[in-house]
Amino acid sequence: MIAAVLLLACGGLVGYGLLDTEDEPEPPATRTAAVTYEVTGDGPAEISYLGRDTDGAATVVRDAELPWKRTVQVPLGQAPTVAVVLGEKGGQAACTLAVRGKHLQSATASGEFGRATCAAGQLPDGG
């Protein structure tokens, strides 16, 4: 008798789990802003930039041929950044950064293993 009650109880819980078709709530969508990164000059160069990842991880492009340009979505609250590093042969490269089409910063790298970084503050909610 006890075994039958336990069997019915277990069956009811399993049935409830199978019949419970309520979807899990979707996590709220991450709001983003369009950011355009551009690097001009003599290449190749190593370029790293912040894209859509909400964890703040950068995307790295090795041996990028210049000129190079990307428009990506960056989560609000993140600071968009693009960095360029020239190789051992040197040269010259310039990076620029624009948020929602508005130019915010530029920088120039030159010489052997020259570096330049363009960054903006955290992206505010601006529509």
35-81, pLDDT tens digit by residue? 999 999 987 899 999 987 666 688 999 999 999 999 999 999 889 99
Cis before 25? omega within 30: no
Q: How many CB atoms neighbour CB 75 within 10 A?
A: 19
Structural fold of domain 32-119: Lipoxygenase-1 (2.60.60)
pTM over 0.85: no
| pLDDT at residue 6 is higher than 50 | no
pLDDT tens digit string along 18-30?
455 556 666 667 7
The per-residue pLDDT for 18 is 47
Nearest to 70 by CA among 44, 52, 43: 52
